Amino acid sequence: MIKAAVVGASGYIGGELVRLLAMHPEVEITAITSRKYAGKKVHKVHPNLRGLDLRFTDKYDFDADVIFLAVPHGTSMKIIDEFLGSAKIIDMSADFRVSKELYEKYYGPHEKPELIDKFVYGLPELHRKEIKKAELVANPGCNATAVILALYPFRDIAKEAIVDLKVSSSAGGRRENVASIHPERSHVVRVYKPFHHRHEAEVIQETGVKPMFTVHSVDLVRGLLATIYFPFDGTERDLLRRLLMYRNEPFIRLVTDKGGLQRYPDPKYVIGSNFVDIGFAYDAENSRAIILSAIDNLIKGGSGQAVQNMNIMFGLDETTGLSYYPVYPV
Ligand X SMILES: NC(=O)c1ccc[n+]([C@@H]2O[C@H](COP(=O)([O-])OP(=O)(O)OC[C@H]3O[C@@H](n4cnc5c(N)ncnc54)[C@H](OP(=O)(O)O)[C@@H]3O)[C@@H](O)[C@H]2O)c1
Q: Which positions are annotated as active-site residues? A: 142
The answer to whether the CB of 224 falls within 8 A of the CB of 301 is yes
Consecutive H or E run containing 124: helix 124-133
Pick from 9, 8, 11: nearest CA to 175: 11
13 binds ligand X, rule: CB under 6 A:
yes
Q: Give the sheet arrangement for strand 56-57, strand by strand.
A: 56-57, 27-33, 2-7, 66-69, 88-91, 136-138, 120-121
Total binding residues toward ligand X, as defined by CB under 6 A:
29
**CA–CA separation, 148 and 124 (whole Å):** 12
Q: Residue 91 CB, nearest distance to ligand X (Å)?
A: 8
- The DSSP call for residue 301 is I
Closer to ligand X at the Cβ: 13 or 67?
A: 13
CA angle, 50 then 56 then 61, to 5°: 145
Q: Which stretch binds ligand X (CB under 6 A): 31-39, 80-88, 106-114, 276-284?
A: 31-39
Q: Which stretch binds ligand X (CB under 6 A): 7-15, 102-110, 212-220, 252-260?
A: 7-15
**CA–CA separation, 224 and 217 (whole Å):** 9
Closer to ligand X at the Cβ: 153 or 302?
A: 302
Closer to ligand X at the Cβ: 239 or 295?
A: 295
- The single residue among 32, 67, 70, 158 that binds ligand X, judged by CB under 6 A, is 70
- The single residue among 42, 142, 146, 299 that binds ligand X, judged by CB under 6 A, is 142
Q: Which stretch binds ligand X (CB under 6 A): 33-41, 126-134, 247-255, 315-323?
A: 33-41
Pick from 27, 13, 10, 23: nearest CA to 52: 23
The answer to whether the CB of 3 falls within 8 A of the CB of 65 is yes
112 binds ligand X, rule: CB under 6 A:
no
175 binds ligand X, rule: CB under 6 A:
yes
Residues 6+ apart with CB under 8 A from 96: 76, 77, 115, 116, 118, 119, 136, 138
Closer to ligand X at the Cβ: 68 or 229?
A: 68
5 binds ligand X, rule: CB under 6 A:
no
- The single residue among 79, 162, 188, 221 that binds ligand X, judged by CB under 6 A, is 79
Cis amide prior to 267 (ω within 30 degrees): no
**CA–CA separation, 213 and 199 (whole Å):** 9
89 binds ligand X, rule: CB under 6 A:
no
Q: Residue 239 CB, nearest distance to ligand X (Å)?
A: 28
- The single residue among 26, 52, 60, 75 that binds ligand X, judged by CB under 6 A, is 75
**CA–CA separation, 105 and 102 (whole Å):** 5
- The single residue among 5, 29, 30, 34 that binds ligand X, judged by CB under 6 A, is 34
The answer to whether the CB of 8 falls within 8 A of the CB of 89 is no
103 binds ligand X, rule: CB under 6 A:
no
Q: Residue 296 CB, nearest distance to ligand X (Å)?
A: 9
Closer to ligand X at the Cβ: 14 or 321?
A: 14
Q: List interacting residues with ligand X (CB under 6 A).
A: 8, 10-14, 34-37, 70-73, 75, 79, 92-93, 141-142, 170-171, 173-175, 297-298, 301-302
